[in-house]
A and B are shown apart, each in its own frame.
Chain A
Amino acid sequence: MTALLTVDGISKSFRGLKAVSEASLTVPQGGIVSLIGPNGAGKTTCFNMIAGVFKPDEGSILFDGRSIAGLRPDQICHAGIGRTFQIVKPFKDLTALENVIVGALRNESSTRAAKKKAESVLDQLGMLDKRDQPAAQLTLPERKRLEVARALATDPKLLLLDEVMAGLRPTETDQMVAVFRDLNRKGLTILLIEHVMRAVMALSQHVVVLHHGQIIADGAPEQVVRDPAVLECYLGEEAEV
């Protein structure tokens, strides 16, 4: 499989604190890759570099054969990457439908077409009945789904999901997993940050583990969860008896 996204040795420091250090990962075309790691490991910083919020201090990011490191977030969107935010950022005063229309306008030439597109995306995520509710009145799981809907409406080739399962009940998680599986079957490539292992194990073909800004493991999910280095970073070192 060819790589859709190739991140090669990116680093980022904040006032001397190295948040991410020489991280590399590859997301194959049509694949689902999970980025996991303890809190503060640098996962969101990695995402923010890919999504154009921060420019990496060093390293390169290739998307679809083209370097995207240092582009603005709107240019990254035009390149074909959609993202959701860990801390949801809905347009609160707009209705759910209007929220998604904003995303749909990225590719649609008229507001009428964008509206149609937004309706179909909301339907896909099972949110069509909420279309006229202001985003401020949605529950957290609904807002998370709205984040996904908005990003999907821009027709991305690659979707970056930042902890969209956090705070969901197990049945809701399974619903979301089903939605992403379906999208993936239709050709969407996904890179997700996730803590909910239920989702990680069910979805990903490949797992990358980040700890203290460095990648410590990289492989198939079953293999990674048995990796001693990974167990150590989550549970601590085994005590010498």
Chain B
Amino acid sequence: MIARLLDGVPKRALILLGLLLAFLLVAPLFVGNYILSVLILVLYFAYTGQAWNVMMGFAGQLSLGHSLYVGLGAYTAAALYVHFGIGPWAGVWIAILISMAAGLVVGFLAFRFGIGGVYFALLTIAFAEFTRVGFDHFMWVNGSGGFFLPVAQYSVNDVLNLRGSPTMFYYILLGITVLAFIFCRWLLTGRIGYYWLAIREEPEAAQTLGINIFRCKMIAVAISSGMTALSGVFFAFYYNNLFPEQIFSMNRSIELILGPIIGGVGSLFGPILGAFVLTALAEVLNDIMVALGYELPGVKLLFYGFCLLIVVMWLPNGIWPPLRKWLRLGERL
């Protein structure tokens, strides 16, 4: 299995990945709380982007409603914790199952009846939207008033209940992101990966080669929604408050796909690079502006728009593919 993961990956790539990982591992020792919170955001978007990329980048199905799976994951784990005292490490599995079920329902409706492209995207938006409206009135989790997890000052990190310092959250998220990266590489180099790429490129030809398109798409949506649920669980325990208005909002769906789009849809490292560029650079830009004495609240959005414009105009495949070529790191990273 390890041989398959490493097959065709040049040594240079492994060294660079190792350096990046080493940097991320020691970063909390040197940076302050603010930078750490930015890094957490970067990893959050890197991981969630990776999850979304399984559907869009690998299987070619555009979902604009991934906030649905974030939200379901977040609310499930939070409600289990608050109402029944079930810790996040157990709750996360139920959260994943519920999100997967939702993903499979959306997928079934779309793929069974041959809905693709923009219409599939609209369907995903619709599901996220009516779930948001539903949660606004779902009083078990306090409806639109917001659902809160108990917050307390902990002198020690309670890893079992995910109560603790940002550093703890950072390392957990880093672990998840690294595992997701390896998992996606494993998927992409396996049978299902080839099938997804074939379906993405030419569904008709793929089917002629014996690929059951419906089944492969359902697997993609199940994996993607399940992975996304995990970001939701993290979100809930990190921020301690959930509002349907925010977590299910379409803005969230868009925000989490900007990273992979700018980094490179369909590539493995693209979503990670995209998250760094967008989140980290946007924060840096914000800081510079503040340091220069300009308080411009919209500067981050302007930066997002600018990045998107650059990518759409000059780098339609994202930043990573040309960079990967320049660094001679092979085609499948």
- Which residue numbers of A lie inside 8 Å of B, CB to CB? 51, 53, 72-74, 76-78, 82-83, 85, 89-95, 98, 101-103, 105-106, 111-112, 134, 150-151, 154
Q: 7 nearest interchain CB pairs? A: A77-B210, A91-B201, A89-B205, A106-B210, A73-B207, A89-B202, A102-B198
26 contacts between A and B (CB under 8 A): A73-B204, A73-B208, A74-B209, A74-B213, A77-B209, A85-B208, A89-B202, A89-B205, A90-B205, A91-B206, A92-B202, A93-B197, A94-B198, A98-B194, A102-B206, A102-B209, A102-B211, A103-B209, A103-B210, A106-B210, A111-B190, A112-B4, A134-B331, A150-B205, A150-B209, A154-B210
Fill in one digit per residue for B182-197: 1 if any A CB lies within 8 Å of its CB, else 0: 0000000111001101
User: Is B33 interfacial (CB 8 A cutoff)?
Assistant: no
Specify which chain A residues have a CB less than 8 angstroms from the CB of B195 in the assembled complex.
102, 105
Contact of B197 among A94, A134, A154 (CB under 8 A): A94
**B251 on the A face (CB < 8 A):** no
Whether A102 and B194, one on each chain, are in contact in the complex, defined by CB atoms closer than 8 angstroms, is yes
> Nearest chain A CB to B55's CB is how many angstroms away?
17
- A77-B197 CB under 8 A given contacts A111-B4, A112-B4: no
Q: Within 8 Å CB of A98, what residues of B?
A: 194, 197
> CA–CA, A150 to B204, complex, Å?
13
Asked if B212 is at the interface of the complex by the 8 Å CB criterion, the answer is yes
Question: Do residues B202 and A91 form an inter-chain contact, with CB atoms below 8 A?
Answer: yes
Return B270 CB to nearest CB of chain A, in Å: 14
Complex contact A85–B205 (CB within 8 A):
yes
Expressed in whole angstroms, the minimum distance between the Cβ of A160 and any Cβ of chain B is 10
Closest A residue, CB atoms, query B189: A111
Q: Assess whether A91 is in contact with B213, with CB atoms less than 8 Å apart.
A: no
- Complex Cα–Cα for A63 and B278 (A): 56
Contacts of B4 in A (CB 8 A): 111-112
Q: Tell me if B194 and A77 are in contact (CB < 8 A).
A: no
Contact size class for B? 20 to 34
Bound complex: CA A112 to CA B8 (Å): 12
Q: A111-B4, A111-B190 are in contact. Are A74 and B212 (CB under 8 A)?
A: yes
- Mark interface residues in B209-229 (1 if CB within 8 Å of A CB, else 0): 111110000000000000000
Question: Smallest distance from the beta carbon of B50 to chain A beta carbons, Å?
Answer: 19
Q: B201 to A111, Cβ gap below 8 A?
A: no
Q: Given the complex, which residues of A lie within 8 Å of B191, measured CB to CB? A: 105, 111
CA distance A94 to B212 in the complex (A): 19
* Structural contact, A91 and B198, CB atoms closer than 8 A: yes
Interface centre among B195, B205, B206 (most CB of A within 10 A): B205
A77 to B197 Cα, complex, angstroms: 19
Which of B194, B210, B331 lies in contact with A78, CB distance below 8 A?
B210
Known: A53-B204, A77-B210, A106-B209; 9 extra A-B contacts, CB below 8 A, are A73-B204, A74-B208, A74-B210, A91-B201, A93-B201, A101-B194, A111-B194, A112-B4, A151-B209
Chain B residues near A101 (CB, 8 Å)?
194
Residues of chain A within 8 A of B206, CB atoms compared: 91, 102
A230 vs B212: C-alpha distance in the bound complex, in angstroms?
Answer: 41
Could you say which residues of chain A place their CB within 8 Å of the CB of B211?
Answer: 74, 102
Which of A94, A111, A154 lies in contact with B209, CB distance below 8 A? Answer: A154
Shortest distance between the CB of A124 and any CB in chain B (Å): 17
Complex CA–CA separation, A89 to B206 (angstroms): 9
Query: A134 CA to B325 CA in the complex, in Å?
Result: 14
Contact residues in A for B331 (Cβ distance below 8 Å): 95, 134
Residue of B nearest to A160 (CB): B208
Contacts of B209 in A (CB 8 A): 74, 77, 102-103, 106, 150-151, 154
Chain A residue contacts of B198, Cβ below 8 A: 91, 94, 102
Which residues of B sit under 8 angstroms from A105, Cβ to Cβ? 191, 194-195
Using Cβ atoms and an 8 Å threshold, which residues of chain A touch B194? 98, 101-102, 105, 111
